[in-house]
Structure 1
Amino acid sequence: MNQFTVLQDNILLERLIIILVYSVLAKGLDLFIDRFLRRIASKTKIKLDDKLIKYLHVPIIWTVFGFGLLHALSVGPLSDPWQLILPQAIQSILLILWITAVIRIFNLMVDEYISSARQKGKIGKDIFMLLKNVLRVVVIIAGLLWLLSIWQINLTPLFASAGIAGIAVALAAKDTLANFFGGISIFMDNTYKVGEYIILDTGERGEVVEIGIRSTRIKTRDDVIVTIPNSIIANSKIINESAPIPRFRIRVPVGVAYGSDLEKVEEVLLAVADANSNIEKLPEPRVRLRVFADSSVNFELLCWVKDPRDKGLEVHNLLKAAYSAFAEQSITIPFPQRDVHISNPSADSFREAG
């Protein structure tokens, strides 16, 4: 009882005992993380858990020790200005440690996700870097605001100034912000990716070569780059020929003469498609009779190419192969013909007179 009374009377000794207890607890937690959790994480195939333990190890240990210091300081009053400065300084140090850890973990997660998205063509290099930096700045600003609140700094004037500055920036950069958020919506909706073929509502068709901060660029088959602001393309009708799967169906119109063996024509066209290595076997090619035209019976060969960029080339190859196959099988490809009758009124009159 006397020892407890002495401990209560000696605040400094009580504080040292509290700090010692928390130090032992922090050291025990350090050994647990280092010898147990690291060993378990090293046996997994995922590398992410090893890095998470590495980044969280130091903040956790120092947080336990920092709580011990705060507990010790709360035992009794301190003389001014230490009563205010020391707890806030400890909280600030802990906050900085955690902000650093969160930024490192955030960079790790962003690199893992957005880098894979970029490799798959979902996002361009510049917008990738912009998103990464913007999100990092958001984390830092949130941490700084928390730090200012720890020191009981009035944030109202700061928020008011930031609001006025934000309105001015928004009005000055209205189009730029519209394009930026248009690019974000394209990324989030997964409308198209780099390397895919799209058709704009204005009729341009080409390969997406870049999804940037301000605009999207497509390259047409004439090797012409078309640049479209993201704010416009986000509100336009887009046909993605490469989605949901990369293959693309082509239609090859073919006409044969009346009187041709239609079953034979169908077999020849299917054989032509089957002989082409760039034509997908599944779904299977098919032939459809479309119309009885003025001079021909019109068929259409429907098949799928592996890549939309091969559309024009494979239509060319299939038409050439069909022409040769029809010639071998004696299938006539008609062309318009007209019989012209010439009437000579003067010759007829002379013949009648004679």
Structure 2
Amino acid sequence: MEQLAELLAPFTLPMQILIVLLGSVGSAKVIELTGRWIAPSIESTTGSVRRVILREIYVPLYLSVFLYGLFLSLELIGAPILRLFESVILSAIVVLWTRAGIRAGSNSLEEIKEHDTHYEFAPVFKNLWSAAVVVIAAIALLLVWNIDITPLLASAGVFGIVLGFAAQEAIANFVGGIALYFDDTYKIGDFVVLESGEKGSVSDIGIRSTTLLTPDRVLITVPNSVLNSAQVRNESAPQRQKRIQIPIEVAYGTSTETVEEILLSIAADVTGVLPSPQPIVLFRGFGDSALRYELQVFISHPLREPRVVDDINREVQQQFAENDIEIPFPQREISLRDDDDSLKDGGQPRYPE
């Protein structure tokens, strides 16, 4: 401000104010025209974070230049009664840039998430960014209005300790969500199975919890702290294909080649079974009442498993019936002894030694 005053010293006060106002209006107009000139090239840049940032700071930039010129004009006048208006102008500038900062950060994270699936956890950082910008803006407004923030900082320290004890679970969920992001455990759309047995597709990832949509179309909300400390099986990573194993038993004496041929034929005809990797049939061993086989096929998504298993089982039953292949059930043979000498010595039972 002192350098500006020295530069304008040769002019009268009305002329100084006029020069400052004209300079601020001219600078704002240049910024506005420049923004309109480069706007088409910015909008044509698809998937650019720079495009989002430039679009959000364009309006606050030229408005801030004009408002700051007005502020400097009031400073040149130097009347104490104008201090209120100066604080109002600076507050307006802070509010403008707070709004621009929140929108630029949020939209940039959305842009990143849309074009890079690795950043599916962006909603957590979007909320964190918004909170940080609001806190910084609040401190800036206090400084603008000459409010001493030292007592507030001391109170904030005590309040932070109390809040930490009172909101341990919420903080644990937040920290757990951040840990899940850096571990890259899952992202929106993945099909996960929890340690408790619950499973579903990840539909939303928030600061406090993660929401799963189960195959029964029911939403389950799981705290992030629980997910961070439990075993989570992601059946959609590293790829969404999943191998399923279908156990099948046939009676002893059935030809292995015939069973394998029928099962592979069924796998090739059932909708939902992927041709690659190819289905295989494994002879798992000899059971008490049956020969144990296993049909292994790949499906495109874990949610298709119930339907594919149902279709294969139906076809197996039909094909085995048409080819006279028996599907056995557990059997036990019981032998009864008819021994006339089983009772001796006054009717007392005789036990084998």
TM-score category (smaller protein): 0.7 to 0.9
The equivalent of 1:96 in structure 2 is 95
With over 3 angstroms needed to count, the CA separation of the structure-2 counterparts of 1:132 and 1:52, relative to structure 1, is: closer
The equivalent of 2:38 in structure 1 is 37
Q: Give the secondary-structure state (helix, strand or coil) at the position aligned to 2:243.
A: strand
| TM-score normalized with structure 2 length | 0.72
How far apart, CA to CA, are the structure 2 residues paired with 1:58 and 1:222?
48
* Deviation (angstroms), 1:160: 0.7
Residue correspondences, number: 332
Structure 2 residue 156 is matched with structure 1 residue 155: no
Moved more, 167-176 or 12-21: 12-21
Which of 266, 271, 279 in structure 1 is aligned with 2:273?
Answer: 279
Moved more, 236-245 or 144-153: 144-153
With over 3 angstroms needed to count, the CA separation of the structure-2 counterparts of 1:137 and 1:263, relative to structure 1, is: same
Moved more, 9-18 or 275-284: 9-18
How far apart, CA to CA, are the structure 1 residues paired with 2:212 and 2:19?
69
* Deviation (angstroms), 1:287: 1.0
Q: Give the secondary-structure state (helix, strand or coil) at the position aligned to 2:281.
A: strand
1:97 partner amino acid: L
Which of 263, 267, 282 in structure 1 is aligned with 2:261?
Answer: 267
Structure 1 segments unaligned to the other structure (5+ residues): 1-6, 348-354
Structure 2 segments unaligned to the other structure (5+ residues): 1-7, 342-353
With over 3 angstroms needed to count, the CA separation of the structure-2 counterparts of 1:99 and 1:232, relative to structure 1, is: closer
With over 3 angstroms needed to count, the CA separation of the structure-2 counterparts of 1:172 and 1:273, relative to structure 1, is: same
Contact 1:260 1:331 in 2 (8 A): yes
The equivalent of 2:194 in structure 1 is 200
How far apart, CA to CA, are the structure 2 residues paired with 1:309 and 1:29?
54
How far apart, CA to CA, are the structure 1 residues paired with 2:187 and 2:34?
45
| TM-score normalized with structure 1 length | 0.72
* Deviation (angstroms), 1:143: 1.5
Moved more, 60-69 or 83-92: 83-92
* Deviation (angstroms), 1:271: 0.5
Cα-to-partner distance string for 1:265-305 (whole Å, 9 max, x where unaligned): 21111011111112222222111122233443322100123
With over 3 angstroms needed to count, the CA separation of the structure-2 counterparts of 1:56 and 1:152, relative to structure 1, is: same
Q: Give the secondary-structure state (helix, strand or coil) at the position aligned to 1:164.
A: helix
What CA RMSD, in Å, does the superposition of the two structures yield over aligned residues?
4.3
Cα-to-partner distance string for 1:147-203 (whole Å, 9 max, x where unaligned): 333455432111111111121122112223323443454456453456654332234
* Deviation (angstroms), 1:235: 0.6
With over 3 angstroms needed to count, the CA separation of the structure-2 counterparts of 1:209 and 1:112, relative to structure 1, is: closer
With over 3 angstroms needed to count, the CA separation of the structure-2 counterparts of 1:345 and 1:230, relative to structure 1, is: same
Cα-to-partner distance string for 1:112-147 (whole Å, 9 max, x where unaligned): 567x59x99x67xxx96x975664343122112123
How far apart, CA to CA, are the structure 2 residues paired with 1:100 and 1:208?
31
Q: How does 1:154-193 map to 2 (within 5 A)?
A: 154-186=148-180, 189-193=183-187
How far apart, CA to CA, are the structure 2 residues paired with 1:220 and 1:169?
35
Q: Give the secondary-structure state (helix, strand or coil) at the position aligned to 1:161.
A: helix
How far apart, CA to CA, are the structure 2 residues paired with 1:312 and 1:163?
54
How far apart, CA to CA, are the structure 2 residues paired with 1:235 and 1:316?
35
The equivalent of 1:4 in structure 2 is none
Q: Give the secondary-structure state (helix, strand or coil) at the position aligned to 1:234.
A: helix
The equivalent of 1:105 in structure 2 is 104
How far apart, CA to CA, are the structure 1 residues paired with 2:130 and 2:203?
27
Structure 2 residue 59 is matched with structure 1 residue 58: yes
Which of 210, 234, 238 in structure 2 is aligned with 1:240?
Answer: 234
With over 3 angstroms needed to count, the CA separation of the structure-2 counterparts of 1:46 and 1:337, relative to structure 1, is: closer
With over 3 angstroms needed to count, the CA separation of the structure-2 counterparts of 1:10 and 1:188, relative to structure 1, is: same
